[in-house]
Structure 1
Amino acid sequence: DILSAGTLLEQPELLFEKIDDSVVEAQMARLERIKQENIVNNFVPKAVADPCTYDDFARLDIRVGTVLDCQKVKKADKLLQFTIDDGMKGRTIVSGIAKWYDPAELIGKQVCFIANFPPKRLKGIDSQGMILSAEDADGRLVVIGPTGPVKPGVKVS
């Protein structure tokens, strides 16, 4: 027997200190920040796609348009619905960038879009093109647009 009946024990002491939830949350946030920094610091661009000809590129009708309105699409977490001034009759484009943008911050901005994609129905909305964006090292999508103001509808070449 290690202890016999009636043996007086010393005052117990804590083996581990209690960690407050706020300390755990702060550490988790720090680890997530470090993880994202590592992703960015260790970024390696994707391999270049298979070669295409100038004719392949020329078939894409890339234009600049001004965002007149932008709304979240109901019952779709990822989608935004754009009303674009394309210099002609205007168009609606649905884009999966809602995770990275507040719709209000896009109104008035100029964006590049592919104008000659056939319409595609997304969540009951006919999308008449594709807004171009770049995927950053951390996975964030950044909308592509001209560096200065241009007339809506100008062709990108």
Structure 2
Amino acid sequence: MAVVDINTGLTLRPEHGYVLLAFLFAIFAQSLWMMFQVGAARRRYKVFYPNLYADKSNPNADAFNCVQRGHQNTLENLPTFIALLLVAGLKFPVTASIAGVIYTLGKIAYFKGYASGKPAARQRGSFSYIGLLTLMGCVAYWAFLLLTGK
């Protein structure tokens, strides 16, 4: 049985820089850029804090709520994505980075589709699952390698 001594540290290769860039791109797009889009929608549709969503008395409730929900869903999934990206990136930095960028581009398309006011348009971002499933596959494969001593 192979044992990893965690006190020896971790050796990072230059390719691990791509993981960090994919991470920064994801944080910028999924947190900051979308947050500013929601802020602009709050002003445009007159939905002020502390209200998370617009109520039905607002004639633009559905339009605002689509923007807000697009961001909320992205934030709900962000921790899982980040964990998968960073773990997969340790063993498979190039594959994880590409998968991370695909996932983030998919979430941008998802957000833009949802924010259009036509909730069904969020399906344009379905390709984000290619990135997410790739990251899951990398982590599962690495777990298999560790468990089988390969």
TM-score per shorter chain, which class? under 0.3
| Higher relative contact order structure (alpha carbons within 8 Å, sequence separation ≥ 6) | 2
TM-score by length of 1: 0.19
TM-score by length of 2: 0.20
Q: Larger strand proportion, structure 1 or 2?
A: 1
Task: Answer with 1 or 2: which has the greater Rg.
Answer: 1
Q: Larger helix proportion, structure 1 or 2?
A: 2
